[in-house]
A and B are shown apart, each in its own frame.
Chain A
Amino acid sequence: MSFRLSYRADPGNPWFSWQYVRDNSDTILAALRDHAWLTARAVLIAALVALPLAVAAHWYRSLAGPILALTGVLYTIPSLALFAFLAPYLGIGALTVLSVVVLYALLMIVRNALAGLAQVPPEVREAAEGMGYGRWGRLFRVELPLALPGVLTGLRLATVSTVALVTVGVVVGRGGLGQLIFAGFQNNFYKAEIMTGTLLCVLLALALDLLLAGLGRAVTPWLRGRSR
């Protein structure tokens, strides 16, 4: 990294500039906060919608096909097209960005949660039934805990791709760190601004992924010591 460059009289246009980061820390932090907050809300909402959908698809086999097909179609629609469909109705701003990224995150969470629920061994299910658990008791006490690794995989995938996707929100003026990247491109190709936004995006994805992985370890103590 060429930190040295920032101390010259004419810093030129380096990819990495500590000077830029220091001078614009307010803007950068605001963008980072906006990005993280949008991502967190999106994943939370997507999880709250996706988990009941996955359970419904798990209980009623006939629902699994349509639910997976619907989320699959959503995934085929390009993000920019989805913004185009929603923006004229939801307006310019966070609501549109949030709706788009939630729709994309749904697929990954539903698919992985469903796979997690499906791989619960039938013997376990029968044993739980034999012990007198009803449908709900079995779900909350037996099936969901055993499906947790699958659910978490889906959450982690959804989080990482949501961080990347939020940047497209610049099209409606709320892209978080994407705002930095795009502004850098428009401001005479200010490389330091572009690179800072990009690196923070990747680091944010990594940090959230590690956070979820740690959370997963904490809530599935019985898996520890096994090779994943």
Chain B
Amino acid sequence: MSNPVGEAVRWLNDPLNWTNPGGVLDRLGEHLGMSAAAVLLGCLVAWPLGLWLGHTGRGGGLVVLVSNVTLAVPTLALLTILPLTFLGFGRPSVVVALAVFAVPPLLANAYTGVRQADPEARDAARGMGLSGGQVLRRVELPLAVPYLAAGFRTAAVQVVATAALASFVNGGGLGQIIRAGFGLDIAAGGGQIIAGGVLVGGLAMLVELVLALVERLVTPRSLRPARSRASRRAAAVAGS
């Protein structure tokens, strides 16, 4: 076998591999498109539910159950099962499958974010005559923003990482480059496999870095180092 890393560099250095139809640029667009749609869908479902559950203080068990069950279901299974349901083949079923894996971190962090709001602030707001909905909107929601941001970051990175697996069901995305490489012989495709890995891994790292910056920006200074990011994120880690 020749040197796979050298082959990978050569593959990445070929402009045609980037601009061809189905090349890196196309795949990158697909990858980001379906990841964004999945995270958006996940937010639409998980945030209202998590905030409401946190506000009422019920459903802590449900949050844990949801994250435990999704941890056990293989991504590959969901990606192959959903196209055979009413969702049909194509982008929608891939987006829904990815969104399922975005829900647990979003839900858990929204729930925790509301729960950890200072009870005295909540009582004070109630004492001032705010209704339940107003307390949620004006007191608990702003205090939960750092948690929402942390959950968003975890979910987004996870979805971008998992989206690589969409290639198993020909769903497009950067994973397709790796799969195509495996489709060749490993000796012949080794360079392309590693090149695809670099692209997929690089994108995940980039998203992680950018969102870490965003998370920092939306977290008020007074709330910043109260708890480490690790402990907040540890609440919901799942395989990708």
Contact = CB atoms under 8 A, between A and B. Distances in A.
Interface string A139-174: 000000000000000000100111111011011100
Most chain A CB inside 10 Å of its own CB: which residue of B77, B84, B169, B237: B77
Nearest to B203: A78
Interface stretch (B53-61, B114-122, B125-133, B158-166): B158-166
A121 to B, nearest CB: 18
A88 interface: yes
B205 interface: yes
Chain A at the B interface: SS class? helix
Interface residues of A, number: 55
B135 interface: no
B239 A165 contact: yes
A202 B76 CA distance: 12
Interface in B139-184: 157, 160-162, 164-165, 167-169, 175, 178-179, 181-182
A108 B72 contact: no
A77 B81 contact: no
Interface residues of B, number: 46
A161 to B, nearest CB: 4
Interface string A195-214: 10110011001100100000
B24 interface: no
A82 interface: yes
Given A85-B194, A161-B71, A161-B238, A77 B201 contact: yes
B234 interface: yes
Contacts of B208: 76
A168 B201 CA distance: 16
B239 A161 contact: yes
Given A80-B167, A160-B71, A172-B182, 14 more contacts: A78-B161, A79-B240, A81-B197, A84-B178, A87-B190, A157-B237, A164-B72, A168-B165, A184-B80, A194-B80, A198-B77, A198-B81, A202-B72, A209-B72
9 A-B pairs with the lowest CB-CB distances in the bound complex, closest first: A84-B197, A78-B161, A88-B190, A161-B239, A198-B77, A205-B72, A88-B4, A81-B201, A167-B74
